[in-house]
Amino acid sequence: MGKELFKFRIRSEYNYGKPVKGNYTAVVSLKPYVGFPKIPISVKNGRIDGMIEIEFSFEGDLHLKQKFDRIFIVDVTVQDHLTGFRQNASEELGVFMAKHEISFLSPPDYFKPGLNYNVVISVKHHDGSSFKGSEENNVTLLYGYDYETSEENFVNLTISQNGLAYGGFFVPRDVKKLYVKAQFEDAHVILPHILRARSKKKRFILANLITKNPTVNTTCIVEVTSTHRLNYLTYHLVARDNLVHTAIVNFTTDGSLRVSFTVTPEMVPSAIFLVYYVANTGYLISDRMVINFGLRKTFDLKVSHTQATPGQEVLITISSESPGFVNLAAVDKSVLEMQHEKHMLTEKRVASTLEDFIKYTPLQILRSIRRVARKKYFKEFEDSGVILMTNVKRGAKRPSLSESVADEEDLPEDDDDYVDFEETITQKDITSTVSGEINPRKYFPETWLWWDVITKHKGELIIKVKVPDKITGWVLSGFSVDQDTGLSLIPQPVSVSVFQSFFISTSLPYSVKRGEIITIPVVIFNYLNESKPVELIFRNVHRDFCFEDLSICNASQRIEILATNQTGTSVDFHVIPKSLGRVKFEIVAQSEDLVDKIIRELLVVAEGEVQYDNQAYLVDLHTFASAAESFSPKLPENFVPDSLEMRINIMKNILASSMENLDELVPHLPTGCGEQNLLTFAPNVAVLDYMTRTRKRNEDLRIRALRFMRQAYQRQLKFRHRDGAFSAFGKADEIGSIWLTAYAARTFLWASRYITVDRKVTDKALKWLSQQQMEDGGFREYGISIRIFDREMFTADDNRVGMTAFTILPFVETGIGWAKYSSMLQKAFEFIEREFSNVNDVYSLSIAAYAVQFFEGNLRDRALQVLNEKALRDQGKIWWESKSNGMSLSIEATSYGLLANLAAERLQECVGATKWLISQRNSQGGFTSTHDTVLGLFALSKVAERLEFSSNSINFSVNHLNIKNFSSMKSIKVNPGLRNVTVKASGRGYAIIEFATKYNVGNVKKFSQVEYFAVVPKVKILGSHDNFLNLTFCTRFNPPTRYMRQSNMTVMEIVLPSGHRIDRDQLNLLTELESFKKIELKNGDTKAIVYFCEITERDICPTLMAYKTHRVKKAHRGQISIYDYYNPALDCIRNVLIRTRIKNS
């Protein structure tokens, strides 16, 4: 083996197919066992020009001597010498003693004497592709009835073109043991000891699939054979926990019978074929078989040009056998190379998703791991997911390895989201032409097409589109859905390459800060046969930046270069942004009769940290005819000049600002867990409820809210457990959360008035909640949820009343739970009534006061009286203040107080609570956090109709400027130089005035004087060119009291300095950390949001890998902030300095 070599090729290409020149690094490791780290055993590096073949000697490089199968992991990094960008690739490569890989596909784990033993054998290449067989290629199936003669008998099975061989052999009645082996050339596989099926009367039936690879809308044939004569048999098809087909067939022949059925979309991806009959002796004889069904290929698409130039028109032809919905996507090839499985819809992904709907009991999961079957009759029925109720005798059972092989005598007994395209497009000559004026290239998306198309007739639909301006490759894929065949995928994705021989390429960071000096690399690619002199012009379109190399901020900078043929030539421009926002620039390259021009935008943000402030005021012109309010910005000394933005928002609609910002109600908070996602769900329901109650019509808003709801509903299902419960991180949590399950079920029930919500989801959630009730009638959170959510809300004994009240809200608010769960609800009400006098926490008191309004009894009035006595009052405002967790719980308590008083028709308290809630809103229409935003908007939408917002008649002026008529909301931009703004109102009715400010501060804002988290950032620069960074942030919790030993769910936000990006391929460094739950990357991978279940007093040190994408001088520091999500006052913020050496060009 010492002279033998391990060889592989590295290919590096741009998306348009041309080779990449640069440097490579190849690292070879042996594939480790699960749970063990990957240890490199050899490294090679060097130059690459599109492709290179690498050799490793087994003994010299890899230090391996023994001959047996091995799997290597090869990690390759290629760095482009023109741009400095690097691309990673990882592949498992094997060295095998045999040329092919052979395996049994789901072989029967027992045999039935007197019938065939049938198998399916797969033959593949070691790269996973199927071996294409023919009549000349056979697999030898060897078998015997004891160990000594295990290869005495054989049968040859022909390998089909898809690499599968079907067949079997007859097993005599007296056989006790069976040994089976398959062999193809030098590859072989052996089945372990095969168990013998048991039957009291030696009677069996066996199902065998005759139709190979059945698909939707075709006929599937199954052969049923029997050891004796039958009169009839019954069969069922069970797919995705549904009985999709059943039939009774007369059995008039001896030995075997073939049954047929039509495959329907409901059977995909697999169905259980369960067949049985009851013998004259009263015994039940049965068999089961899993049949895999494929999607029928009834849909395809073609393009008129697989090679195109930027902006060229192409024709897409959609072929479909029947009318229906066709969905098309065209994605940049570079995106697919990084996350292919995420962006491509394949039959494998469809099957995996559909299989998630199949229920499994813990015992079935155990069986999937161990082949040992427990001693039980009727197991075919149990494993099929059906319940059998019968008084027949137990005729047969599967064997167990704990039993000896003995004789039978020894045995005991909306259409709104679709686009309708015209079908009258005709074929044209769409070859490109050259015009006198060059059209600039300015459209550079990552997704070209994302369409929903309605086809009215079967046949072809032709659509004309323009390809984007990006020089790249596009991958088109799609699927169709129709009533006849269900889902159909295109056989293979279609590629369109966009290319021209002379073009400009540049790359930009996600953003830079004003005043930084950013290096923008520009590459001129010349794929002509000769080099060309080129004048390169970088135009400063609106003079928003300066060039570092020039003394003044010129309109342009010109450089002359020689563009080498068949490669790229790189030039750097160093710019200093002066303006904020999206700064536009142009780059033009021209040489004789060749020219290319691109227009790009660079996002420039203000230095420092963004701060928001909002002053809101409810105008009540029922007692007085006019009112005036003056506003001034509250600016700290260190606010960044020119970063101040001020607006006056005037609203005749109580939810106007919320309607405008449904997708970003709380802009500074993450939304990556199951509770945070509901912020993108529930407010849409509140808006639609408000529109319905006040009879306001806004079709665009309705469509947008419905779209957000459908998307959020699908995302929320990712946080669902098999038992129906929900939790913060879904199946990553051991058990579900009572609080989050009640919250999700409540939101689903609200939403079911507007979108389709699976009734099984809500029913199962309510059932799970009812099963968590304690003997005294109350509810208490347990498990990991106590560590994640607000610990004070769940652990204190007097808060059990609030927890119980919250849990029963989804049952009582919509009335859906009264019929089925009346006993549970009455028990919970009695618990609240019994413990109510012991409640001291105003938050729990407010939830209880609202919940008991849905019950009969004296507690309704008493609870409301106690609650209102604890209210705070000032200048007409009423609110309830929670002593813990700052403003968030006070907003929630006031929302519940408003709802409780509204249910009791106490409008005076409602007006006061509404005034206070409005004064706490942010400028986006939300509040401080997620749950308080949901509750606040829900309460405001309920009270809006009673306060008659829709019938107001008010005139406004801002600094003596009269505001003309407007329907719902008027937003006025205020000159940032002003320091006082006066708004006057006159007339009658209600309205809302907001003064919203946004600005940056130069130094980090401190929420409190005490740092509740200790943070020590450590930056390690890797490599000689400062290209790679190792970032470690050690943190621990500093408890504010001796009773609080750990935080609630904690969020760490890491923002990198300009010109750096987090390495997605290295995120697995976090998975082994204690209490780590999830990481999200935002803003072009320049910001990481890391979720922890909790942080304790013990150090925890998350590590991220990052790399430099652009050179930046005078770069501002990065930032790390860590805070308790449910108590933001517990926080710590640190600036991170990354010192790098800048190489001047």
47 with 178, same domain: the answer is no
Q: Which residue has the tokens 């019954």?
A: 234
**Is residue 935 situated within a structural domain?**
yes
CA-CA distance, 463 to 426, in Å (whole number)? Answer: 9
Question: Tokens standing for 678?
Answer: 């509901």
pLDDT for res 910: 92
1011 with 1092, same domain: the answer is yes
Residue type at 846?
S
Structural domain boundaries enclosing 571: 502-605
Tens of pLDDT, residues 451-488: 888 877 777 888 899 999 999 999 998 888 887 777 88
* Distance set, CA 234 to CA 248, 284, 375 (Å): 4, 11, 25
Q: How confident is residue 950, by pLDDT bands cut at 50, 70 and 90? A: low
Tens of pLDDT, residues 167-177: 889 989 888 88
**Is residue 992 situated within a structural domain?**
no
* Distance set, CA 456 to CA 265, 296, 321, 459, 482 (Å): 21, 20, 11, 9, 11
325 with 448, same domain: the answer is yes
681 with 731, same domain: the answer is yes
Residues in the chain: 1145
Residue type at 860?
R
**Is residue 793 situated within a structural domain?**
yes
Nearest in space to 493 (alpha carbons), one of 338, 348, 337, 346 = 346
* Distance set, CA 336 to CA 15, 242, 310, 918 (Å): 11, 35, 20, 46
Average pLDDT of span 1030-1047: 82
| SS3 per-residue string spanning 514-559 | CCCEEEEEEEEEECCCCCEEEEEEEECCCCCEEECCCCCCCCEEEE
**Is residue 551 situated within a structural domain?**
yes
Nearest in space to 525 (alpha carbons), one of 87, 82, 85 = 82
763 with 664, same domain: the answer is yes
The pTM of the full predicted model, rounded to 2 decimals, is: 0.71
Q: How confident is residue 866, by pLDDT bands cut at 50, 70 and 90? A: very high
917 with 1033, same domain: the answer is no
pLDDT for res 8: 84
pLDDT for res 1142: 46
Mean pLDDT of all residues belonging to the chain: 82
1053 with 1118, same domain: the answer is yes
**Is residue 976 situated within a structural domain?**
no
60 with 186, same domain: the answer is no
786 with 913, same domain: the answer is yes
- Half-sphere exposure at residue 99, Cβ-oriented, CA atoms within 13 angstroms: 5
Average pLDDT of span 522-531: 92
pLDDT for res 862: 93
Domain-ending residue, one of 932, 951, 970: 951
Interacting residues of 365 by C-beta distance below 8 A, sequence separation 6+: none
Q: How confident is residue 804, by pLDDT bands cut at 50, 70 and 90? A: very high
708 with 661, same domain: the answer is yes
Domain-ending residue, one of 548, 572, 605: 605
Contact 76, 188 (CB under 8 A): no
Share of residues in the chain with pLDDT > 70 (%):
86
325 with 352, same domain: the answer is yes
**Which range among 261-270, 518-527, 1036-1045 shows the weakest confidence by mean pLDDT?**
1036-1045
Q: Are strands 1112-1113 and 961-963 parallel, antiparallel or unpaired?
A: unpaired
CA-CA distance, 440 to 872, in Å (whole number)? Answer: 63
Q: Say if residue 70's pLDDT is above 70.
A: yes
**Is residue 33 situated within a structural domain?**
yes
- Half-sphere exposure at residue 173, Cβ-oriented, CA atoms within 13 angstroms: 9
Average pLDDT of span 863-882: 92
Average pLDDT of span 638-657: 86
CA-CA distance, 1030 to 493, in Å (whole number)? Answer: 38
pLDDT for res 216: 83
CA-CA distance, 546 to 554, in Å (whole number)? Answer: 7
* Cα first-last separation, the chain: 49
CA-CA distance, 678 to 259, in Å (whole number)? Answer: 49
Average pLDDT of span 577-596: 92
CA-CA distance, 218 to 240, in Å (whole number)? Answer: 20
Domain-ending residue, one of 171, 198, 225: 198
By three-state DSSP, how is residue 369 classified? helix
CA angle 1085, 1087, 1093 (to 5 degrees): 115
**Is residue 408 situated within a structural domain?**
no
* Distance set, CA 1129 to CA 1040, 1041, 1051, 1124 (Å): 11, 14, 13, 8
Contact 948, 681 (CB under 8 A): no
| CATH code assigned at 182 | 2.60.40.10
Interacting residues of 461 by C-beta distance below 8 A, sequence separation 6+: 317, 318, 320, 326, 421, 423, 453, 455
**Is residue 305 situated within a structural domain?**
yes
Q: Say if residue 641's pLDDT is above 50.
A: yes
Cα 388–chain centre separation: 39
Total structural domains within the chain? 7
